[in-house]
Structure 1
Amino acid sequence: MKRLAYLLLSCAALATSCSKDNDATPSGPKEYQVEYQVTSNALESDYLSYTNESGGNTTLSNTPLPASYKFKRTMKQGDNLTILASIDGGTAASEITCSILLDGKEVKKETGRGIDAQAVPVYVIGQ
């Protein structure tokens, strides 16, 4: 299940990084303060992966929750931010929520529920 989620995360990042040649006027690069927030009624996330300050992925295991990650990153229209967090072996009442904030403003939020809950918000600059 984790491999499938990671594959989907990678495909989403690849697909959203492409843009059409006839898009409306693209904006130039801008530096953003990026923050990811992960909350849950569980004590830890068994798997957590996010797009980091260089545009690559940072992957963590058995991360205590709640968790927050902040950094600055210069991005342009079409660049994306993604976070995936999951709970393994929870209960039907388990839930995990991931939020993406840019310059202090929440731009994307997703909540997963259930035994193997996972949340995978993806935000594309210019969306």
Structure 2
Amino acid sequence: MKRLATLLLSCAALATASSCAKDDAMPTGPKEYQVEYRISSTTAPQSDYISYDNESGGTTTVNNVPLPATYRFKRTLKQGDHVGLLASLDGGTAASEITAAILLDGKEVKKETGRGANAQAVPVYVIGQ
């Protein structure tokens, strides 16, 4: 009987701890995030085109951007919302590459590297993914 009680208490404690961790990791309502995009290349001095989801949920597009480049802003997001960007190189070689990363609150959540003459990196992150 004592073993059964100990087992049940252990299971209850584990279930409570698991549900608390899940609640902390997945906010149910809107949350303000520090969004950061990082774009870099080891083979090119600039990106010919960068387009990203901005602080208002719209799109910002810039051309001929010196690399590395970083964009930071705060944005309120809820589960199912997304942040993303597209960064490209034009007229490179087969060895050309560009890398784009998305960070939320300082933590990298998505990173992609595109390679080739017309390399593109297109990371997209969905909140709750």
TM-score normalised by the chain length of structure 2? 0.78
63, 66, 77: which one pairs with 2:65?
63
| CA shift for structure 1 position 27 | 1.4
CA shift at 1:26, angstroms? 7.2
Structure 2 unpaired stretches of 5+? 1-25
Correspondence list, 1:43-122, <5 A: 43-122=45-124
1:27 corresponds to: 28
* TM-score (norm: length of structure 1): 0.79
RMSD: 1.2
Query: Considering only CA atoms, is the larger Rg found in Structure 1 or Structure 2?
Result: 2
Structure 1 stretches of at least 4 aligned residues deviating more than 6 Å after TM superposition? none
Matches of 2:81 and 2:106 in 1, distance apart?
A: 18
Give the letter for the 1:104 counterpart. G
- Distance in 1 (alpha carbons) for counterparts of 2:38 and 2:97: 14
Q: Which amino acid aligns with 2:65?
A: T
Alpha-carbon distance in structure 2 between the residues aligned to 1:107 and 1:26: 16
Counterpart for residue 36 of structure 1 = 37
Q: In the aligned structure 2, how far is the partner of 1:82 from the partner of 1:104?
A: 16
The one-letter code of the counterpart of 1:30 is: K
What CA deviation, in whole Å up to 9, does each residue of 1:12-71 have, x standing for no partner?
xxxxxxxxxxxxx97100000000000002011111000000000000011111000000
Q: Aligned pair count?
A: 103
Return the letter of the residue paired with 2:91. G
Give the match's secondary structure for 2:28. Answer: coil
